[in-house]
Structure 1
Amino acid sequence: MYSYDLTSKQIAKHTDFKNFGLLDLDVNANGLLLLEQGGYLHTYNPSSKTLNKLTIAIATDLLEMRPRFVSGSDYARSASISPSGARVVLDFRGEIVTVPSEKGDVANLTQTPGVHETFPKWSPDSKSIAYFSDESGEYALHIKDQNSTNKAKTIKLNGAGFYAYLHWSPDSKKIAYVDNGRNLYITTVATGKTQKVDQDILYQPGEYRDLFGSWSADSNWLSYTIITDTNFEKAFLFSVNENKSYPISDGFSNVTNPTFDPSGKYLYLTASTDAGPVVNWFDQSNQDMESSNSLYLITLQNQVKSPFAKENDVEVIEKEEELKTEKEDKEEDKPIKELKIDWDGIQNRMIALPVGAGNFAALSSPKEDMLYYLSYPAHGGETTLHAYNLTDQEDEELFATDSYEISANGEKMLYYSSGSWYVSDIGKKSEQAELALESIQVKIDPVKEWKNIFNEAWRVNRDYFYDPSMHGVDWNAMKTRYEAFLPDVTTKSDLYRVMSWMFAELSVGHHRFDYTGDSRVEKEIITGGLLGADYAVNNNRYQISKIYGGLNWNPDLRSPLTEPGVQAKIGEYIIKVDGQEVKATDNLYKFFENKAGQIVALTLSSNANGSNAHTEQVTALDSERSLRNRDWVEGNIKKVNEATDGQVAYVYVPNTATGGHEYFKRYFYPQANKKAIIIDERFNGGGQLADYVIDLLNKPMQSYWDFRYGNDMKAPSASIQGPKVMLIDETAGSGGDYLPYLFRRNNLGTLVGKRTWGGLVGVLGYPEFIDGGIVTAPNVAFYNEEGFGIENVGTPPDIEVEQTPKDVIAGKDPQLEKAIELILQQLKENPPKTLKTPAYPDKTK
């Protein structure tokens, strides 16, 4: 703590804490300072220069620390069906539980409060359930006998720290899974030996990515895909015996979902040749792009004919012995044959299934010549499950579902639809009620959980943070330093506060808790209704002073007072709301409590006494943000248009994701006939890398085209060649830091305003804690020829202009005003070049 003497202008230091700095400072009426440091409160007397550590004892029931039972379907995070379909195993708030498909009781297999257990999977032979557990302090693979109370077998893992998506081999001897480092592994259960199969070359968003495709019927081969350095997926087959991978695609198409047919004759897959612009997920230019894929199969042996080959019927006389053998084969289980693959020419043996192109995923082949898959509509709508019968060559749409899993015996399926889980016969919609997840109750011990959450949050940052050296911070030491506070933690908010202190040591942006988990008592949120208007207080009434215009055909821009049939006018008084008298002494918004999305009877009058009143039926909004933002944007367009005599375009970019893409398209193209442009990226929320915006601004004029009728047209036609100014401020960050960086790097124009926020790292998905909480750990960071930068620095303007609250309240915008002044000056000094139509050619000479 320091003080500054206004007279002498001297600075004096008053405290000398070593381990923890001050977090808060206050002063009472007597001039005694109160400060927080290291979890304690201190007082400081400026007169005596004495520091006193306070001892505070509070007698309370500490309800949050009490063990309790929790229930509710929201706690079910992953589920898997048993081999016969009789039960389903779930990760339920950190415990592994099984529930009956129809009749029976819930069974908690783990009963380990304060231990986080995830991603359970039943073995095909029904004997075991595998899952991941952090019981040791690090995640390990546990194998639990489903009919035994014995302790689970533990297999230590040496991957990137976090693991997901277990896939048993058909013989129940091996398990495939992935980690957060995008590695694919196979572990042999009996020996604990682990093979690393492969790893993605490029990272994609998500806490995990499942590289796994399927197992072959003989359990000796595994299909999978990796993300290549072009962001395309490439498919491979891995031989467990050889410990070797073989490519089955060439990288020129995006190949996904490689799935073995149990016969061993075919490998099914999906492939796309137009996926390039879509799979480059970090580029904003992918926003408008669409792709489709198609279903294919590859014959794995040379002698296997295409199932779609043209047939020619011939009469065949079968011998009695052959008929007898065929009958015996049908009556007895066939032994699993070892899969043989003919690699020569395999890429030429790919055959398209006679199903039109679409968006297909989640392929599964539980029985020979049968393929199940999900079809996703391109523009919204229900995802549907399909079944393709290779023998009959028929594709059947079954029913709508979000995901599904087929039991190991191929007779039952588990599927998730409209927020509920169901078990049914394979390919059939369930006639039973949804799984009774509400009957699950698990006992939790908050104190044990808080320790687990602390450790897991620390590990998330250790294992996901982009810099393995943790910005030079001794991360192990930080764990030791801050876990010392845990014995004094008595509420969850205390826990998350302590963790915030620890994470602050990394000094990085985008570091936050996206969610702080469930609460002992969940708060009920009541939304208030809004009318999309401003009000003045006159004559003891609320008077409509402004109505925000909307686009009533767009649900996101609906303006209640301008909808068809509503006769509301500026200047009218609000007399009643749903029959209740409204006076200016009332809080106007209390009349709209819990009315969002509901019809409200609004009584209006041009007179404060309510004479000649009329009542309008309006549907209240839950937010006016979109209306007010649009009003501000179009107000700025009007200001720029009037101040520049229509010569300059104004385009606002709210973020560098979907919203920014939509805004730029909406407002840039209709103004592409202007001579110059002001791009406003203030308050930009970031998102992707704004190549879309920069590419459009960076288009040079290439030529003109003369038409017999109408004006000549420049090419590219949607381009502005004149001066460009970009407005930036301290609230724009992430992609909002990168957009002005690109603007400057490409020498596009002048940056005006304030230095941007300085958050040029990214957050791409993280696993949940046991209570559902999530902490970020920035796992991607910007750098260029000069090294890592912009993060914690921002992009500075060329011309700095302060925007004070006083200016804004007065209706002024000094930054925009400066941009207008500057661009008019630049337009005068350097107007865009134009060409006149030359003399037409004389072909007679």
Structure 2
Amino acid sequence: MTSGADTYYYRPVWSPDSKKLLWADRLQRLRYVDVNSKAVTQVDQDKWGEIQSYDWSPDSQWIAWARPEENDLPRVYIYSLADKKQTAVTDEWYGSGNVAFSDDGKYLLFASGRDFKPTFAEDEFENVYLDMQRVYLVTLAKDTEPPLGPRSDEVGKAEQKRARQKEKEGEEKKAEEKKSPSPAQKSSPTPTPELKPKKPIVVKIDLDGIYDRISGLEIVPGNYSDIRLVDDRIFYLRRTVADQEGEGEGEQDGPDRKAHLCSYSMEDRKETVLGDVNAYQISADGKRMLVKIKKDYAIIELPKDKLETKDHELKLAGLDMQLDKHAEWNQIYFECWRQMRDFFYAPNMNGIDWKLMRDKYAAILPFVNHRNDLTYLLGELIGELNNGHTYVGGGERPETPRIKLGLLGAELSRDPATKAYKVDRILPGQNWDKHTRSPLTAQGINVKVGDYIIAINNTPVSGLPNLYDGLIGTADKQVILRVNSKPSEDGARDVTVVPTADESPLYYLAWVQKNIDYVGKKTNGEVGYLHIPDMGRPGLNEFTKLYFPQIRKKALIVDVRGNGGGFVSPLVIERLRRALVMVGIARNGMPATDPPQTFLGRMVTLIDEFSASDGDIFPYRFKTLGLGKLIGKRTWGGVIGIRDSLPLVDGGQFFKPEFAPYSKEGKDWIIESHGVDPDIVVDNDPAKEFRGEDQQLDRAIQEIQEELKTKRYDLPPVPPYPNRNPTPSS
């Protein structure tokens, strides 16, 4: 495993007998090596994706894994080491994964999305399916009692449970006595009797009818992972959509994401929520648990109730490491080179001799003396590929602490005579949202354009080199401003404001609203305007907020200039291309589109050289589907997608372009290194743009008005109501 690898290796898993090691790799294989013979056996190789979930049976004779399938619904398979055959355990109708054998070898557990409860949107007629998974068990042998079947003898079951618990406690007591003999035992000539070795587990699997031996836990549907069955308790992590409430985007998707650690008693048929953790792992003997909560780790006895980690935390503060940074940087360099070799979308590395590039830049490695040097060197190496989305950053390097400056959401100028600051412009805000609040527009402040700021927290601004010297460290804190309608103390008043740390959302809001008002004025309110700043969650939010209120406009200008990319362009396009099928009406109502929220007007899209990544792909979709003209400049030209960085030893990040689009005709690779060409080229004159003139927007208005002269569409009037009287009067 540690030499001569032909690709990147994923998580290795020891067999319980410690004789074999199982792993998956970037070539989408699942393989294991026999430690003694060194022979490598291939269990599976999948053409649809990487194998990410796999486990050994407790007798080391079976392997279970989740295989990606063509329909994007993974299936669970098992493999027999004895006859080298694989068998599907789940069917093609439901996605399944996160496989795990029970410790006693009687069951195979997995998570599967089989709960269908649609969630309907409030502002449009759309649905999504969320929280679809529960935990399922496959009874491997036909003669094993179903784990969740009906119970015929509750009294007998209780007696069996007590007997098993008593036997278990007796074994644990003997084991403890053996480990820590009493003083009397030490002096006794009588030897301590040896504990009987545990009976080896033999896993029996009846493949016939295995589909019909799947049982599901009666638990809350959600997303389940890290499943482990110890004795009669199933441990797992669960997250639901409700858990995202109050979390930032990084907390929802990143390594700091929390989940509910739960256990389910098969005996009592009850779930216990043990607590919130970031991760957990149970020891091989099933007696102890390692839990991670935020940045802290603790080792505890296998919990039966709420987690108690106090006094069990691992004291890691004293763990020091002597680090040879040059050796570490050397390792990271070659690691990154191999990652790009194994993950870059094109096996030919865009025609570049990748080994030659490795050696070319490795010659500079001895002169790297800072993590920033290494980052620069890696950037030069991957730049040779002439491809977008080749990013490198992070790692262990000294960070300069940043002190937040308080900002007032206003543009100010200094009176040359008195040194007071005049309010020239107040940026509008949406004060119900903490991210877009404008401090001087808060209720009760009553500061107007033309007013002067005389002092900050009783310090006259006339004595400050700059007004912002008085606002250092005041973001999101109360500040007393002394203001007046004239640049003097006479008649001044004090107001308490809370400065913001970032004015950019306010400038963005003002710019968008200015464009909306401008387009509306130029077109007598017939044409709508919206801007999509990115193709992530924030951009989708902006689209949704601006699109549906303007859906009855006669035409629409979609602006993706400066769009930073993301992944939601298919969702936006699906809404824009919705087609009218019929018209609906209710008594005393007005005609409405069917499907609902169908836009009927003409459209154009504005693009520029800063429309990037999924901001490239959106105009390509728009143009290919014939939704309208593209106006502006050729887009950025970087569309080969990335995913989360693989781990580097110093926590750095290294991104590889992996997911590339080519034309539906199969003739060529599209967009990358060129961009999307506009139908009408308009390059804004920087001087005119600085003065507030937007030539690209003006051309969009011109084009859409021309189209409206001949291609306007209005809903037809209501036809005469039918007469379905079978016996009409004469």
1:413 aligns with 2:289: yes
Q: Deviations over 1:289-319 (max 9, x none)?
A: 5232122222111122323333333999xxx
Q: Is the 8 A contact 1:732 1:757 kept in 2?
A: yes
**C-alpha displacement at 1:261, in angstroms?**
1.7
Find the counterpart in structure 2 of residue 158 from structure 1: 5
C-alpha separation in 1, matches of 2:468 and 2:36: 67
2:241 is aligned to 378
Distance (Å, rounded) in 1 between the aligned partners of 2:463 and 2:627: 52
Residue from 728, 747, 758 that aligns with 2:637: 758
Match of 2:192 in 1: none
Q: Greater CA deviation, 750-759 or 804-813?
A: 804-813
The answer on 1:350 being equivalent to 2:350 is no
State the AA in 1 paired with 2:287: E
Equivalent residue for 1:256? 97
Q: How does 1:48-59 map to 2 (within 5 A)?
A: none
Cα offsets for 1:193-236 (capped at 9, x unmatched): 322333454448xxxx7322x32221212222122222222211
2:57 and 2:442 mapped to 1: Cα distance? 60
Give runs of aligned pairs for residues 382-397 of structure 1, distance below 5 A: 383-397=259-273
Q: Does 1:337 align with 2:201?
A: yes
Q: Displacement of 1:327 after TM fit? A: 7.3
Q: Which residue of 2 aligns with 1:46?
A: none
CA contact (8 A) 2:106 2:204 kept: no
Alpha carbons 1:689, 1:738 under 8 Å: kept: no
**The 10-residue stretch of structure 1 (777-786 or 465-474) with the greater mean CA deviation from structure 2:** 777-786
Equivalence for 1:79: none
Pair 1:473 & 2:352 matched: yes
C-alpha separation between the residues in 1 aligned to 2:373 and 2:149? 69
Please, which moves more after superposition, 614-623 or 504-513? 614-623
1:369 to 232, 256, 269: 232
Q: Aligned letter for 2:407?
A: L
Q: Secondary structure at the match of 1:191?
A: coil
Contact kept in structure 1, 2:435 and 2:505, CA below 8 Å = yes
Structure 1 residues 604, 230: closer, same or farther in 2, change over 3 A? farther
- Native 8 Å contact 2:115 2:221 kept in 1: no
Match of 2:322, SS state, is strand
1:416-431 matches, within 5 Å, as 416-427=292-303, 428-431=307-310
| 2:407 corresponds to | 530
Partner residue of 1:807?
Answer: 688
Partner SS state of residue 165, structure 1 = coil
Corresponding residue number in structure 2 for 1:197: 43
CA–CA distance in 2 between the matches of 1:157 and 1:364?
34
Structure 1 unaligned regions, length at least 5? 1-139, 142-155, 279-284, 317-322
Candidates 750, 769, 783, aligned match of 2:662: 783
Contact 1:737-1:790 within 8 A present in 2 as well: yes
Query: CA contact under 8 A between 1:202 and 1:228: conserved in structure 2?
Result: yes
Instruction: Tell me the alpha carbon deviations over residues 268-299 of structure 1, each in whole angstroms, 9 at most, x when there is no partner.
Output: 22211368999xxxxxx999652321222221
What residue is the counterpart of 2:377 in the other structure?
Answer: 498
Indicate the SS of the match to 2:647: coil
Kindly state the Cα deviation for residue 329 of structure 1 after the two structures are TM-superposed: 13
Alignment of 1:306-705 (within 5 A): 306-313=146-153, 332-365=196-229, 367-379=230-242, 380=244, 383-427=259-303, 428-432=307-311, 434-515=313-394, 517-519=395-397, 521-538=398-415, 540-583=419-462, 586-688=465-567, 690-705=569-584
Contact 1:541 1:584 in 2 (8 A): no
Alpha-carbon distance between aligned partners in 2 of 1:707 and 1:699, rounded to the nearest angstrom = 22
Q: Which of 129, 135, 138 matches 1:298?
A: 138
- Give how far 1:576 is off: 1.8
Matched residues in 2 for 1:287 and 1:343: separation? 38
CA deviation profile, 1:662-718 (whole Å, cap 9, x unmatched): 111111111111111110011111111512121222122211123221212121231
**SS in structure 1 opposite 2:99?**
strand
Higher relative contact order (CA 8 A, sep 6+): 1
- Does the CA contact (< 8 Å) of 1:203 and 1:227 recur in 2? yes
What's 2:16 paired with?
Answer: 170
Q: Unaligned regions of 5+ residues in structure 2, if any?
A: 120-124, 157-162, 172-195, 246-257
Separation (CA, whole Å) in 1 of partners of 2:201 and 2:169 = 14
Q: Does the 8 Å contact 2:21/2:34 carry over to 1?
A: yes
Residue 112 of structure 2 aligns to a residue whose secondary structure is strand
**1:211 to 2:92 alignment:** no
On the 8 A contact 2:53/2:99 being kept in 1, the answer is no
Q: 1:818 to 1:460 in 2, by over 3 A?
A: same
> Would the aligned equivalents of 1:751 and 1:797 in 2 still touch at CA under 8 Å?
yes
Count of residues in Structure 1 that have an aligned counterpart in Structure 2 = 670
Tell me by how many angstroms 1:434 deviates: 3.0
Question: Alignment partner of 2:11: what SS?
Answer: strand
Aligned counterpart, 2:180: none
Contact kept in structure 2, 1:421 and 1:434, CA below 8 Å: yes
SS of 2:509's partner is: helix
In 2: Cα distance, 1:485 partner to 1:275 partner: 57
TM-score, length-normalised on structure 1?
0.75
1:841 maps to which residue? 722
Structure 2 vs 1, CA of residues 420 and 287 (structure 1 numbering), >3 Å: closer, same or farther?
farther
The one-letter amino acid paired with 1:694 is: I
| Aligned equivalents of 1:277, 1:774: Cα separation in 2 | 37
Structure 1 residue 585, shift from structure 2 partner: 7.1
CA shift digits 1:393-446 (9 cap, x unpaired): 221111111110011121111111122212111124212253222212111223
Greater strand share, 1 or 2?
1
Please give the secondary structure, in 1, of the residue aligned with 2:66: strand
Q: CA distance change for structure 1 residues 473 and 286 in 2, over 3 Å: closer, same or farther?
A: farther
Q: Which residue of 2 aligns with 1:133?
A: none
In structure 2, relative to structure 1, the CA distance for the partners of 1:337 and 1:596 (3 Å cut) is same
Q: Which of the pair is proportionally richer in helix?
A: 2
Asked if the contact 2:130/2:222 (under 8 Å) is kept, the reply is: no
Query: Percent identity over the alignment?
Result: 31
